[in-house]
Amino acid sequence: MSTTLYRGGAVVTPAVLAAPGPADAPSALLVADGVVVWVGGADEADGLVDAADEVVELDGALVTPGFVDAHAHVLDTGVVRAGVELGRCGSVAEVLAAVHAAVAGPVGRRLAAEGSPLTGWGWAEDGWPEGRPPTREELDAAAGGAPVYLGRVDLHAGVVSTSFAQVLGLRDLPGWRADGLVTGAAHDAARATLRDLPADVRDARYRGALASAAQAGVVAVHEQSAPHTDTRAGLAALLALTADPASGLPLVVGYRAELCETADDVRALAAAVPGLAGVGGDLAADGSLGSRTAALRAPYADAPAGWPHPAGRLDLTAEQVSNHVASATRAGLPAAFHVIGDRALDEVLLGFRVAAEVEGVDAVRAGGHRLEHAPMLDAPALAALVLLGLTASVQPAFDEAWGGDDGTYAARLGRGRAASLHPLADLRAAGVPLALGSDSPVTPFDPWGAVRAAARHRTADQRLPVAAALAAHTRGGWAAAGRAGVAAGEGAAAGPAGVPGTAPAAGELAVGAPAHLAVWRVPEGTTGPGGVLPALRPDDPAPACVRTVRAGVVLHDALG
């Protein structure tokens, strides 16, 4: 048996999270063979020192459950990390300068040696003086004719050079525009080619992405795999790579976005990807608000003249959704859908209702199904989520990045519609299970940033308490994965949080729970009432992760 004693800090237990006011936090916990076996105070901890294999002096550090990122793209994150960062560019001219410099620089040389096109990521034309993305001709000139793909920040649109478009035949696909902007099928084809990597390069991309997650205090990631982002074999390899905590990597919980018509389709997919947690995830009912491809009930407020889809476009029908949900329910795997616009949400929920009429409401409720993103929820949609037992997998960082009166959402929708996006408090009040994620690489692995964004929502009446957001980003992520965490040896039988006599859940620092935890240095003067959890005020520096532990295995260590 291997034991580690952590002492001299503040341990965030279920009681601390559930307390209506300030609560005293235990100062120590003991981990044995990957399980929390004791939580208590300083006096008792002193008596355990001699028996522990390792004693970690916390020196006032905060110990929280390890974070779970409930929506991410691991290969995309690795590919983005290997390309040119464009998120700080403030104009077309700056993007083109970055491309020109990269072609002959280390990034361009490395990608060329791998046989990959030059890639850049994170641009957003909102607020640029040109008011548009770069054109194909401009990329050709900046890159000297080299193949180039530049992905928009939301990963639902990109711009490509002539040589890149010609090799892939993008001109013949829906979503191609003569200026090099690609959406829809053309964009999917462009992104798909970026995953065609040698095995060693692919492995390095996976590991680099997951190492960055561990450095941010993340112990598990829900991978939202799709044919245009990774292969079935790639997803299977990723799940196998991280299945054992001894890998030193966060656990990857795998979802695969392939539309199924029958239960046999679901079973065949599960057989092809051992350990699959669900069918869907990034199974897209529509696109994104930033790219004006999310399906809306009313047109975009800023759609350019001649925009082909003034109110966005639907990518799934209610019939397809109902068949997929019914098939997943029968096969015993959760279904999940990417849905952004209110028109798309109407279609998805209609599909769920039809499936519930066929399979029974109780069967659908027991299915563990979920919606990814779902920012445009009104009262009828919220009621449908409650009735159907759906989990909302949400990204509070989106509100911080693109919300507000002067943000992208207001430009796309108008201020009135934009102010109603991401109704986190309404979801919590209705009892809808919440899980928080980043959609990395759309926004980075930054769990405290997500908690801050939820607690400081731009619409004041939709803010969550810090404790509630923290619970959604830890325990909520494990719950959203359903039996996936248990199947991978990562979870325990769940019971009501903090209720004596019930088994603790994964994502809780309680006796009997898996030792998934993170240790943080919280800057002085930044804690909230009670002095335990950070207040996360707008100007407060974020807690710094100094150790991340999955089932007792250290994934990241900067304790010194």
Same domain flag for 88 and 159: yes
Same domain flag for 93 and 179: yes
Q: What is the CATH number of the domain that holds 497?
A: 2.30.40.10
Pairing of strands 218-225, 181-182: unpaired
Residue 270 CB neighbours (<10 A)? 18
Same domain flag for 31 and 87: no
CA distance 40 to 62: 14
Same domain flag for 56 and 91: no
Residues 541-551, mean pLDDT to the nearest whole number: 97
Closest to 512 (Cα-Cα) out of 493, 486, 485: 493
Same domain flag for 32 and 100: no
Q: Is residue 242 part of a domain?
A: no
User: Does residue 488 have a pLDDT over 90?
Assistant: no
State which of 194, 213, 230 marks the end of a domain.
Answer: 194
Residue 124 identity: A
Q: Residue 485 — very low, low, confident or very high, per pLDDT cuts 50/70/90? A: very low
Q: What is the pLDDT of residue 490?
A: 52
Q: What is the pLDDT of residue 139?
A: 94
Mean pLDDT rounded to a whole number for the chain: 92
Same domain flag for 43 and 87: no
Same domain flag for 94 and 172: yes
How many domains does one find in the chain?
2
Instruction: Kindly report, residue by residue over 145-161, the tens digit of the pLDDT.
Output: 999 999 998 888 999 99
CA distance 371 to 67: 20
Residue 7: what are its φ and ψ, rounded to 5°? Answer: -145, 155
Same domain flag for 121 and 147: yes
Same domain flag for 14 and 55: yes
Q: Is residue 360 part of a domain?
A: no
Higher pLDDT, 281 or 27: 27
Residue for token pair 């830890």: 474
Q: What is the pLDDT of residue 117?
A: 86
Residue 50 CB neighbours (<10 A)? 8
Q: Is residue 522 part of a domain?
A: yes
Higher pLDDT, 549 or 200: 549
Q: Is residue 406 part of a domain?
A: no
Q: Residue 359 — very low, low, confident or very high, per pLDDT cuts 50/70/90? A: very high
Residue 290 identity: G
Residues 287-292, mean pLDDT to the nearest whole number: 94
Q: Is residue 396 part of a domain?
A: no
Is 186 strand, coil or helix? helix
Q: Is residue 497 part of a domain?
A: yes
DSSP for residue 246: G
State which of 147, 169, 194 marks the end of a domain.
Answer: 194
Residues 501-528, mean pLDDT to the nearest whole number: 89
User: Does residue 487 have a pLDDT over 80?
Assistant: no
Q: What is the CATH number of the domain that holds 177?
A: 3.10.310.70
Q: Residue 521 — very low, low, confident or very high, per pLDDT cuts 50/70/90? A: very high
Strand segments, DSSP code E, in 183-286 are: 218-225, 251-256, 278-284
Same domain flag for 11 and 52: yes
Q: Is residue 419 part of a domain?
A: no
Q: Is residue 503 part of a domain?
A: yes
Instruction: Kindly report, residue by residue over 158-183, the tens digit of the pLDDT.
Output: 999 999 999 899 999 999 999 999 99
Instruction: Kindly report, residue by residue over 395-439, the tens digit of the pLDDT.
Output: 999 999 999 999 999 999 999 999 999 999 999 999 999 999 999
Residues 106-113, mean pLDDT to the nearest whole number: 81
Residue for token pair 């957001």: 469
CA distance 162 to 145: 7
Contact 237, 201 (CB under 8 A): no
CA distance 191 to 196: 10
Domain residue limits at 102: 74-194
Residue-wise burial string across 113-132, b where 16 or more C-beta atoms lie within 10 A, e elsewhere: eeebbbbbbbbbbeebeeee
DSSP for residue 243: S
Q: What is the pLDDT of residue 491?
A: 42
Please report, rounded to a whole number, the percentage of residues in the chain having pLDDT higher than 70.
Answer: 96
Q: What is the pLDDT of residue 62?
A: 98
pTM: 0.91
Same domain flag for 45 and 146: no
Please count the helices (runs of H) and the strands (runs of E) in the chain: 23, 22
Residues 59-88, mean pLDDT to the nearest whole number: 94
State which of 147, 163, 194 marks the end of a domain.
Answer: 194
Same domain flag for 56 and 90: no
Instruction: Kindly report, residue by residue over 443-469, the tens digit of the pLDDT.
Output: 999 999 999 999 999 999 999 999 999
